[in-house]
């Protein structure tokens, strides 16, 4: 067995309070492209279109553009299923090892895999929110209205609906950020999976856990700026690496 997998497995066995910090890379094997890899979303679309400022300037035009993108794509994020990496993280919770998942993803795949404590730093694509009264609806409610020509789709109060995700230039939900900081501070192992660790302030969370005394394990396809300071950094596919770590952990729990 690979030495690094063994090291990571031993860290999990020694730990009582693991926090998983996940980015888009944990979901690519579920068919959802990440932002920055070749073939990722930013190879296809211009990221500067999708700012909060653009949304506020003309919510109707923004929804129209998103609708076009949705119709161009033959894949709907809502149909994606958890892959072996999500399932391994859910198994850590089942074993009583995992305290929470902090995720940058908006795809709800951790919840689908069975995790109950998921801190969503960038919101969720499953819901939309009224900018006037704050009421939330399932996203389908807004998409149906948009498809029928209601641009932007409106709440029953008449307010504009916006996807409950954090756009570029929009601040992160403060309650989620606060909980993430507490979890990072109190964990004994921070397991980063599928994040380039370049988007702030989310990328500072793993560093915070190290300051609190936690070990840091990174699983990512490509090197990250934090690999040098990590206790172990494994470069590979999350859907292959995490099940291998879990095999080791299961053996260790039996023995």
Q: Are strands 215-220 and 232-235 parallel, antiparallel or unpaired?
A: parallel
Within the chain, what is the greatest distance between any pair of CA atoms?
62
Question: Which residues lie below 8 Å from residue 39, measured CB to CB, with a gap of 6+?
Answer: 33
Task: Compute φ and ψ for 210, nearest 5 degrees.
Answer: -65, -40
User: Is residue 100 within the footprint of ligand NAD (CB under 6 A)?
Assistant: no
DSSP state at residue 83: -
Stretch that binds ligand NAD, among 12-20, 101-109, 225-233, 246-254 (CB under 6 A): 101-109
List 29, 49, 150, 231, residue binding ligand NAD (CB under 6 A): 29
Query: Catalytic residue among 86, 110, 122, 185, which?
Result: 122
DSSP state at residue 172: P
Alpha-carbon distance 181 to 101, whole Å?
A: 12
User: Is residue 139 within the footprint of ligand NAD (CB under 6 A)?
Assistant: no
User: Is residue 122 within the footprint of ligand NAD (CB under 6 A)?
Assistant: yes
Q: Rounded to the nearest whole angstrom, what is the least distance from the CB of residue 152 to ligand NAD in the complex?
A: 21
Stretch that binds ligand NAD, among 22-30, 67-75, 86-94, 176-184 (CB under 6 A): 22-30
Kindly tell me which of 155 and 218 has the beta carbon lying closer to ligand NAD.
218
Our answer to whether residue 185 is catalytic in this structure is no
CB-based closest residue to ligand NAD: 25
Question: Which residues lie below 8 Å from residue 41, measured CB to CB, with a gap of 6+?
Answer: 33, 34, 35
Alpha-carbon distance 78 to 80, whole Å?
A: 6
Q: List, by residue number, the catalytic residues.
A: 122
Provide the binding-site residues for ligand NAD, judged by CB under 6 A: 23-25, 27-29, 32, 34-37, 40-41, 104-107, 122, 194-196, 199, 220-222, 237-239
């Amino acid at each position: 067995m690979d030495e690094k997998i063994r090291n990571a497995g031993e860290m999990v066995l020694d730990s009582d309070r693991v926090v998983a910090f996940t980015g888009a890379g944990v979901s690519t094997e579920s068919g959802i492209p990440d932002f920055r890899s070749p073939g990722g979303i930013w190879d296809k679309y211009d990221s500067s279109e999708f700012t909060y400022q653009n949304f506020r300037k003309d919510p109707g035009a923004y929804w129209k553009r998103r609708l076009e993108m949705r119709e161009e794509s033959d894949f709907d994020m809502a149909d994606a299923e958890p892959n072996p990496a999500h399932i391994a993280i859910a198994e850590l919770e089942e074993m009583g090892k995992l305290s929470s998942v902090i995720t940058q993803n908006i795809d709800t795949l951790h919840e689908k895999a069975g995790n109950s404590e998921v801190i969503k730093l960038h919101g969720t694509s499953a819901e939309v929110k009224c900018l006037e009264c704050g009421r939330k609806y399932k996203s389908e409610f807004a998409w149906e209205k948009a498809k029928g020509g209601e641009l932007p789709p409106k709440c029953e109060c008449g307010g504009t609906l916006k996807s409950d995700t954090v756009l570029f230039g929009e601040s992160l939900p403060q309650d989620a950020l606060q909980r993430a900081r507490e979890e990072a501070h109190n964990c004994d192992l921070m397991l980063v999976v599928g994040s380039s660790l370049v988007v702030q302030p989310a990328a500072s969370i793993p560093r915070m856990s190290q300051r609190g005394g936690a070990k840091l394990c990174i699983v990512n396809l490509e090197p990250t700026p934090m690999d040098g300071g990590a206790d172990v950094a494994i470069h590979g596919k999350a859907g292959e690496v995490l099940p291998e770590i879990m095999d080791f952990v299961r053996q260790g729990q039996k023995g």
